[in-house]
Amino acid sequence: MQSGVESIEREARDLARRIAKDRIASTAGERDRSGEFPRETIEALGESGLLGAVVGVDNGGAGLPRTGLAGLVTELGRACASTALVAVSHIIAEKAIETAATDFVRTKWLPKMVAGQTLGAFAVHESNSGSNSGAITTTARRDADGYIVTGSKMFITSAGEADVYLVLVRTDPQRGPQGMSALLIEKDVSGLSFGRPEDKMGLRSSSSREMFFDDCRVPAANLVGVEGEGGQVVGQNVIGWGFFGAAAISVGIAQAATDLAVTHAKERTIAGQPIGVHQAVQALIADMSLQSEAAEALLVMCADRADASPALAAINGFKAKLFASETAIEVADKAIQVMGGHGYCRDYTVERLFRDARGLTLHFKTSEWLRQDIAKAALGL
């Protein structure tokens, strides 16, 4: 028999599948071509309550665990990885506000974020810090009224579109990782500006831009968590929740690519025979099917472990994200192979899936960092 949480997870996933099919999938290709930000699809997710799925019931959400997040984001990733990425970035900001923000910030922003009326994002990466969040240099100086923020961020999903940003800053330049803090910064604050949207290979409608902070004044109440513990806020929310969302986007891409290749192998006939009768094509389909299922199974197992023991969320998120993101590239690549020249053309969805999948081994932590972190954990280093 299913527990109450499992049945809510199933309902949330079914709802996500319906919205993805009815309101997201049909416009994903056009958004990929135009680069248009998925505002309408995000609003649809907000109206449905899915943007508050992992926010606690006391704060207006459904209180789903990471396994629930994984299921619903997989459905979004199948339809449109850009929409799914924007949603995951929003959920990260929401979760950080819920668990660590002041009452003032939580009551001001969280209800509107749960309803999808206010969009959130997170900003950690900088051009000079690269993959190493401990090397950020964006600075927040404290004065009597709050913080004055100076610096920049790069490749920020939803930048310029989101209303609020969870921003990692350095509050004490002398203390390395212990000198970092998280601030909630509003889009309209004086001194904040945005670069042009990056002309990316894939995930094209997710909008990645630079953020420039030129003496931005941020109230002291916008500190998220404890000053000097911004690294923990990022660890618990960006890694502790976001990595499962990122892995789920990749699982969704792998499943969508497999489905498209199977359909094509049945429908495409050469000399009167469907290409699926050939053993070489069958081998590709078998591998794709297995790889997609293995990525989903690992994601569910890792999410389950993290839900049971949040202290293990990071290492499990690393494993799920590394395997799923590399699997999605391999599966989308095989789907193109099954579809021959058709799959290489923009009119066919697998071409977009391949480009979208490619970005997900770079986002959050790169595969190289993830391998190092997983190896260090295994070796006890």
Ligand X SMILES: Cc1cc2nc3c(=O)[nH]c(=O)nc-3n(C[C@H](O)[C@H](O)[C@H](O)COP(=O)(O)OP(=O)(O)OC[C@H]3O[C@@H](n4cnc5c(N)ncnc54)[C@H](O)[C@@H]3O)c2cc1C
Does position 156 interact with ligand X (CB under 6 A)? The reply is: yes
Q: Please tell me the count of residues contacting ligand X according to CB under 6 A.
A: 21
The residue among 72 and 121 lying less far from ligand X, judged by its C-beta, is: 121
Least distance in angstroms from the C-beta of 278 to ligand X:
36
Does position 241 interact with ligand X (CB under 6 A)? The reply is: no
What is the three-class DSSP state of 226? coil
Strand pairing class (180-186; 223-224): antiparallel
The residue among 79 and 265 lying less far from ligand X, judged by its C-beta, is: 79
Does position 366 interact with ligand X (CB under 6 A)? The reply is: yes
- Applying CB under 6 A, among 33, 39, 368, 376 the residue interacting with ligand X is 368
Does position 375 interact with ligand X (CB under 6 A)? The reply is: no
Return the number of other C-beta atoms located less than 10 Å from residue 225's C-beta: 21
The residue among 137 and 372 lying less far from ligand X, judged by its C-beta, is: 372
Please report, to the nearest 10 degrees, the dihedral formed by the alpha carbons of residues 90, 92, 93, 95 taken in order: 120
Least distance in angstroms from the C-beta of 291 to ligand X:
22
Does position 82 interact with ligand X (CB under 6 A)? The reply is: no
Spatial separation of the C-alpha atoms in residues 87 and 120, rounded to whole Å: 9
Site string for ligand X, 325-364 (x = CB under 6 A): ----------------------------------x--xxx
The residue among 130 and 340 lying less far from ligand X, judged by its C-beta, is: 130
- Applying CB under 6 A, among 147, 155, 323, 354 the residue interacting with ligand X is 155
Spatial separation of the C-alpha atoms in residues 277 and 98, rounded to whole Å: 53
Least distance in angstroms from the C-beta of 359 to ligand X:
4
Q: Which of residues 157-196 bind ligand X (CB under 6 A)?
A: 157
Containing 18, the helix (H) or strand (E) segment is helix 4-19
Containing 208, the helix (H) or strand (E) segment is strand 208-219
Least distance in angstroms from the C-beta of 243 to ligand X:
11
Does position 124 interact with ligand X (CB under 6 A)? The reply is: yes
Containing 271, the helix (H) or strand (E) segment is none
Strand pairing class (164-170; 120-123): parallel
- Applying CB under 6 A, among 56, 189, 369, 377 the residue interacting with ligand X is 369
Nearest CA to 357 out of 325, 335, 322 is that of 325
Does position 128 interact with ligand X (CB under 6 A)? The reply is: no
Spatial separation of the C-alpha atoms in residues 160 and 369, rounded to whole Å: 28
Does position 13 interact with ligand X (CB under 6 A)? The reply is: no
| Rg of the chain (C-alpha set) | 21
Does position 89 interact with ligand X (CB under 6 A)? The reply is: yes
> Residues near 286 by Cβ (< 8 Å), separated by ≥ 6?
none
Site string for ligand X, 53-72 (x = CB under 6 A): --------------------
Does position 122 interact with ligand X (CB under 6 A)? The reply is: yes
Q: How many CA atoms lie within 13 A of 304 on its CB side?
A: 7
Residue 228 φ/ψ region, left for φ over 0, alpha for ψ in the -120 to 50 degree band, beta for the rest: left
Q: Which stretch binds ligand X (CB under 6 A): 118-126, 136-144, 287-295, 335-343?
A: 118-126
The residue among 117 and 131 lying less far from ligand X, judged by its C-beta, is: 131
Give yes or no for a contact between 184 and 120, defined as CB atoms under 8 angstroms apart: no
Give yes or no for a contact between 93 and 116, defined as CB atoms under 8 angstroms apart: no
Residue indicated by tokens 């500006």: 193
Containing 120, the helix (H) or strand (E) segment is strand 120-123
Least distance in angstroms from the C-beta of 234 to ligand X:
9
Spatial separation of the C-alpha atoms in residues 78 and 84, rounded to whole Å: 9
The residue among 42 and 284 lying less far from ligand X, judged by its C-beta, is: 42
- Applying CB under 6 A, among 82, 208, 250, 258 the residue interacting with ligand X is 208
Does position 37 interact with ligand X (CB under 6 A)? The reply is: no
Containing 45, the helix (H) or strand (E) segment is helix 39-48
The residue among 155 and 264 lying less far from ligand X, judged by its C-beta, is: 155
Spatial separation of the C-alpha atoms in residues 223 and 295, rounded to whole Å: 37
The CB-nearest residue to ligand X is: 130
Interface ranges with ligand X (CB under 6 A): 89, 121-125, 130-131, 155-157, 203, 208, 359, 362-364, 366, 368-369, 372
